[in-house]
Amino acid sequence: MSKRVAIVGIGYAGFRTTSSDISYREMIFEAATKCYEDAGGIHPHDIDSFVASSEDFMEGISIADEYVPDQLGAVLKPVQSIAGDSLQGLASAVMQIKTGKLNVVATSAFSKVSNLSHYENVEAYATDPVYVRPFQEHPAYLAGLEMNRYLYESGTTREQCAAVVVKNKYNALDNPRAAYGAKISIDDILGAPDLSSPLGIHDASGHLDGAVVLLLATEEKALRMTDKPIWIKGIGWGTDTPNLDSRLEGFGAAIYARLAAKQAYAMAGITAPYSELDIAEVDDTFSYKQLQHLEALNICGPGEAGKLLELGCFDAAGDLPVNISGGSLGVGYLHEANGLHRVLETALQLRGEAGKKQLPDVETGLAFAWRGIPTATGTAVILGRRP
């Protein structure tokens, strides 16, 4: 590692299922203002570079990059957009600092999905235009197919997937940012209609509006700006082929998560994630995805995640608390802002600022985000209270 990088400012806004009273740019402004305040009141003039993460079709604007600078205070500054999950945006910010040329970099992402009347129509535009889109099916069927394959390959049960929903929605009850917290039973979940069998309607996370802005800095700057820096110890990202039928190990394997974790663990010097991590915020866009990702992230072996979950290993009092915030199932699904949301929840735990959700002795955490169907891209980041 050529240079240590720390998160020195955290700001967020929104986290509501609908927000008709505020534009996305106003929401980002609020998050950015809070972030800069949190970083000791830095003026945006003193920020060297800005990275946003967004996708045009979600915003109804071609070249959404145009509308990034103003609300971040980034006019006439180095600004770029990453068309990817915001954890990739975070990775870009980390790389910029590690070049040694930029010292303080802000990264932002948002979701204003309540502006969309039919999200699934946008999602359908992400599928292959020749081989997949002509089926004109609700894209959730791809998750149903993958879930079926994952259950078959790993021996995980439908009930174990439902237990993920129970846990995450329960965890969300005490999180002020969560919109989908609930006390729900496995029977409720199994008895609900299917979205695409075996995937039930409660196995899919609900959409949420929100914005997150994080400020990153070099070690030298970080120690001057805050007394509670959160260190980015490792980061990695990976992509599998978009062709559903030619993914190397078939539909049930999340190769992207394995690649991302391998790179992040190597950088952070982690060899035994299950025992070395104190907390993990892992993608749970769909219930089975949480288990599939825990296995691909090498937190447990193939087919073990469901069993460990049932044993309570991933509960607040377990060996490795997973999605104590409530995750996407409990808090809500923030689209390209998902990654920064996972970092937000992990970083608040590491700072000891997670309120009622605060766990004792959190030193090292993992945040992992996936970009949703039909993509095969994931990013993992290791955060620590000490460098």
Partner 1 sequence: MKMRKVAIVGAGLTKFVRRALETPKELSYEATKTALDSCGLRLEDIDCVAHGTAPDAFDGIHQNGEYMVDGCGGWNKPTMRVYVGGATGVHAIVHGWHHVASGMFDTCLVVCEEKMSSAMPHAQGFFLTIFDAITERALHPNLLWIFALEMNRYMNRYGYTKEDMALAAVNNKMNGLKHPASQFRDEVTVEDVLNSEIMAYPVSRLDVSPVSDGAAAVVLAAEPVARRITDKPVWIEGVGWTLDTAYWATRDLYYPRYLDTAARMAYDMAGIREPAKQINIAEPYDPFDYKALHHMEGLQLSPRGKTVELLRDGHFARDGNLPMCPSGGLLGVGNPIAAAGTMKVCELFWQLRGEADERQVPGNPRLGVAQAWGDLMQVSSVVVVGI
Q: Which is nearer to partner 1, 49 or 349 (CB)?
A: 49
- Cis upstream peptide for 198 (omega within 30°): yes
Judged by CB under 8 A, does residue 307 bind partner 1? Answer: no
* Under rule CB under 8 A, residue 224 binds partner 1: no
- Cα separation, 251 vs 242, in Å, equals 11
Choosing from 243, 272, 301, 386, the residue that interacts with partner 1 (CB under 8 A) is: 243
User: Does 2 sit near partner 1 (CB under 8 A)?
Assistant: yes
Helix residue spans in 39-76 (DSSP H): 56-59, 69-72
Work out whether 186 is an interface residue with partner 1 (CB under 8 A). no
Residue 248 touching partner 1 (CB under 8 A): yes
Rounded distance, CA 106 to CA 124, Å?
A: 32
For position 376 contacting partner 1 by CB under 8 A, the verdict is yes
Under DSSP, the state recorded for 333 is B
- Please count the other Cβ atoms lying within 10 Å of the Cβ belonging to residue 97: 25
Structure tokens at 25: 């740019």
Residue of 14, 181, 238, 273 interacting with partner 1 (CB under 8 A): 238
**Is 82 a binder of partner 1 (CB under 8 A)?**
yes
Report CA-CA distances (Å) from 273 to 111, 119, 131, 264, 278. 31, 35, 38, 11, 9
Binding partner 1 (rule: CB under 8 A), the pick from 76, 118, 227, 360 is: 76
Q: 301: helix, coil or strand?
A: coil
Candidates 11-19, 93-101, 154-162, 317-325: pick the segment binding partner 1 (CB under 8 A).
Answer: 93-101
Is residue 20 part of the contact set for partner 1 (CB under 8 A)? Answer: no
CB of 144 to partner 1, least distance (A): 20
61, 67 Cβ separation under 8 angstroms: yes
Q: Choose, by CB under 8 A, the member of 37, 66, 120, 310 that binds partner 1.
A: 66
Q: Which stretch binds partner 1 (CB under 8 A): 77-85, 155-163, 309-317, 355-363?
A: 77-85
Residue 66 or 194 having the CB closest to partner 1:
66
What distance in Å separates the CA atoms of residue 155 and residue 172, rounded to the nearest whole number?
A: 28
Q: Which residue in 37, 40, 61, 312 binds partner 1 (CB under 8 A)?
A: 61
- Burial of residue 38 (number of CB atoms within 10 Å: 0-12, 13-18, 19+): buried
- The letter for the amino acid at 54 is S
Piece of the chain touching partner 1 by CB under 8 A; list 90-98, 172-180, 223-231, 300-308: 90-98
Closest by CA to 230, choosing from 92, 344, 72, 101, is 344
Q: Yes or no: say if 68 and 52 are a contact pair by the CB < 8 Å rule.
A: yes
Binding of residue 136 to partner 1 (CB under 8 A): no
Judge contact between 36 and 44, C-beta under 8 A: yes
Report if residue 122 touches partner 1, rule: CB under 8 A: yes
Phi and psi angles of residue 25, each rounded to the nearest 5 degrees, phi first: -70, -35
**Shortest separation between residue 263's beta carbon and partner 1, angstroms:** 7
Q: Does 83 bind partner 1 (CB under 8 A)?
A: yes
Beta carbon of residue 150, minimum distance to partner 1 (angstroms, whole number):
19
Binding site for partner 1 (CB under 8 A): 1-3, 55-58, 60-63, 65-70, 74-84, 88, 91-92, 94-101, 122-123, 125-126, 128-129, 236-243, 248, 255, 259-260, 263, 267, 371, 374-377
